Amino acid sequence: MDLKQSLANRIVIVFALMSAVVAGVFAMGIVATVHVVEHKLTMTALSGGLRRLLAMDDINQWRHEPEKSELFFFENGPGPMALTPQLAELPVGFQEITFNGDDFYAMVEAVGGRKYVLLRNQESFEQREHLLFVVVIVGFILSVMLAVALGRLLARQVMAPVIRLAGQVRHRDQLIALAPALHPDYADDEVGELALSFDQTLGRLRETLNREKLFTSDVSHELRTPLMILASSCELLLANPSLDQRSTQQVTRIARASAEMRQLVETFLMLARKPEELGTESTCTLKSIADAQVEIWGRLIREKGLEFIYEPQLAGTTRYDLTFLQSVMGNLLRNAWHYTDQGFVRLTLLKDSFVVEDSGIGIPEEKRHAMFQPFVRGDEQRGEGLGLGLSLVQRICSHQRWQVQLVTREPNGCRFTVTLSAAQEAEGQTRELPAA
């Protein structure tokens, strides 16, 4: 049975199969019983008829004839009652034979050294058997049809509370905070247990969502203030002309880290809300966001001794959300900077997408499909990072209905393509770029 069938269809199928098996067994039993009984009755009737014929007449002067469907023969009998060579070879007892092209039951007896044979034509018996087969087959078909009808009726009755529960569960996400309990509406049975289990799960989910909302609000309140203090303090320190070059570099790193942390906090806060609840506006073009990221990461990449290539010529004018797009692009550039020790990093802007490409250590084939999962890293030996950057990229792209694709470069390195438009997302094609 196909396990992918609906539960109602499986109930109907089980009823039909059960009816077919039971009706089939009964049909075969009826046919076999009738055949055996008919066989016994015919043998008894022929034996009695033969003895009656022998008792009614003198063996030398026959006046009585057998039944219309019967033929009587004996040794040295007159005319048509003479025993033929085929009949003379028959053993004593009841048997089935073919005589003159027809099927007969035969009863053979020997009395006083003389053999007597009484034949009965099987035509009437075959007609009754044929009628019996027709009745049995029609009954079998009707029983299966009745089982299907009863199965559908029973499935409708049995599945009604399950279908109702499924409909209520399906629309529960729209009223998750206000949805009433389900189990009071159901009987104390398996469906009621299922409703109770769902109510308990929904309760735990509500608690988790409430904790998450409290956490995000706490993060918003508790982290923004110290980050603003860090940023303003760094600005004041950088404005101090007496600060030496080494101290200036350290303060710049602190300012950059606080800016990245503020951006990360904003990203997580926005991801914690539904897209329709954000109310954000698309205010920045792809190139304006890329220019800001290039200013930060281009310098860091070059300081590492790598070649940084920036190709913004094909960028479109569509506007996107600043926080999400700079977080995606920044994490991909950070990933390329972190895992590339020699060669290049390239950022290419296209009409409705961008590509981050590097000549780094690459990603092993066995990890390629898991790289967007949390806490998965390309090289576990590197001490920095927790493996959350690509996971955050995937979450943002799913949240915004963008598409991110990973392609391994040859002989080494990676190419990440982020498609921002719905049309290109549906196509799901990765543009081929020239190797650096």
Q: Are residues 234 and 118 part of one domain?
A: no
Please tell me the predicted confidence (pLDDT) of residue 383. Answer: 45
Q: Are residues 368 and 414 part of one domain?
A: yes
Q: Are residues 286 and 257 part of one domain?
A: no
Which segments in the chain show pLDDT lower than 70? 1-6, 57-68, 167-168, 170-180, 183-187, 190, 216-221, 271-281, 366, 368-370, 373-388, 422-436
Whole-model pTM: value is: 0.49
Domain assignment present for 150: no
Tokens of 242: 């007496």
Please tell me the predicted confidence (pLDDT) of residue 431. Answer: 40
Which residue, of 238, 270, 302, is where some domain finishes?
270
- Helices marked H in 294-357 — which ranges? 299-303, 322-339
Q: Are residues 206 and 113 part of one domain?
A: no
Please tell me the predicted confidence (pLDDT) of residue 58. Answer: 59
Which residues are within 8 A (CB) of 78 and not within 5 positions of it... i.e. 6 or more apart?
Answer: 62
407 and 417 Cβ atoms separated by less than 8 Å: yes
Q: Residue 422 belongs to what domain range?
A: 280-427
* Digit-coded pLDDT (tens) for 244-278: 888 888 888 888 778 777 777 777 777 666 655 55
* Closest by Cα among 231, 362, 246, 346 to 298: 346
Q: What DSSP state is assigned to residue 296? A: I
Q: What is the Cα–Cα distance from 31 to 200, expressed in whole angstroms?
A: 58
Which residue, of 213, 235, 270, is where some domain finishes?
270
* 3-state SS record for 6-60: CHHHHHHHHHHHHHHHHHHHHHHHHHHHHHHHHHHHHHHHHHHHHHHHHHHCECC
Please tell me the predicted confidence (pLDDT) of residue 59. Answer: 54
Beta strands at 344-349 and 307-311: parallel, antiparallel or unpaired: parallel
* Digit-coded pLDDT (tens) for 175-227: 555 566 776 666 677 677 777 777 777 777 777 777 777 776 666 667 777 87
Proportion of the chain above pLDDT 90, given as a percent: 10
Please tell me the predicted confidence (pLDDT) of residue 249. Answer: 82
Domain assignment present for 181: no
Please tell me the predicted confidence (pLDDT) of residue 410. Answer: 80
Q: Are residues 295 and 394 part of one domain?
A: yes
Q: Are residues 421 and 285 part of one domain?
A: yes
Q: Are residues 220 and 313 part of one domain?
A: no
Please tell me the predicted confidence (pLDDT) of residue 28. Answer: 87
* Closest by Cα among 140, 145, 138, 139 to 16: 145
Q: What is the Cα–Cα distance from 139 to 24, expressed in whole angstroms?
A: 10
Q: What is the Cα–Cα distance from 392 to 376, expressed in whole angstroms?
A: 12
Tokens of 155: 């499935």
Domain count across the chain? 3
Q: Are residues 232 and 292 part of one domain?
A: no
Q: Are residues 264 and 294 part of one domain?
A: no
